[in-house]
Amino acid sequence: MKPPAPDTFEGQVLALLPSLRRYSRSLTRSDSDGEDLLQDCVEKVLARRGQWRGLNLRGWVLTIMTNLYRNGRRKNTANAFVDMDGAENLAAVEQPSDPLERSRLEGALNALSEENRSVLMLVVMEGYTYQQVADMLDIPIGTVMSRLSRARQKIAEQLRADNIITLRRPK
């Protein structure tokens, strides 16, 4: 079976898979749950392609994924935290030089609320504008800005708190 042409609906969805995979893993905090969410999302997108109006496919698909995740969270109240070590195939700009830095960052991201983490990932990792994120999540742009600010502040506080080293000599 040959892959779909890039200009077809299926080809455009296929091109979105890397960013969809990153986003699903950031929402679920788990490789396996992220893959399940990705699969459910793609299945729903393909089943409902008649509802797409031809404007912003990426935004439409991310909205579907976000809603699927929220609906799943309502059903399952347990939080699953997973090491980032299992996500070695995710693109990274630079590996941290401090071996503890990765676990500290992972802990800071896991400490964020679902709402703040999703806004942070969409703006910072996926590069969406505030207005695009507001449209995707169906929230006011001011809420996007405040959630992003809170997420950045909480991560900075957590990383700063983990970085305290006593420099005084014992008496």
Domain boundaries, the chain: 1-79, 97-163
66 closest CA partner among 106, 122, 10 = 122
Give the pLDDT of residue 96: 47
Q: What is the C-alpha separation between 2 and 75, in angstroms, rounded? A: 38
Report domain 97-163's class: mainly alpha
Fold (CATH) for 1-79: Rna Polymerase Sigma Factor; Chain: A (1.10.1740)
User: Full-prediction pTM beyond 0.75?
Assistant: no
Determine if residue 155 is left, alpha or beta; phi over 0 gives left, psi from -120 to 50 gives alpha, anything else beta.
alpha
List the chain residues with pLDDT less than 70.
1-2, 74-100, 162-171
Q: Specify burial of residue 142 (Cβ count, 10 A radius: 0-12, 13-18, 19+).
A: exposed
Q: What is the CA angle 100-104-106, rounded to 5?
A: 120
Structure tokens that stand for 102 in this block: 């990765």
Neighbours of 27 (CB within 10 A): 22
Place of tokens 């080293």: 165
Helices 57-75 and 130-137: crossing angle in degrees, nearest 10, is: 50
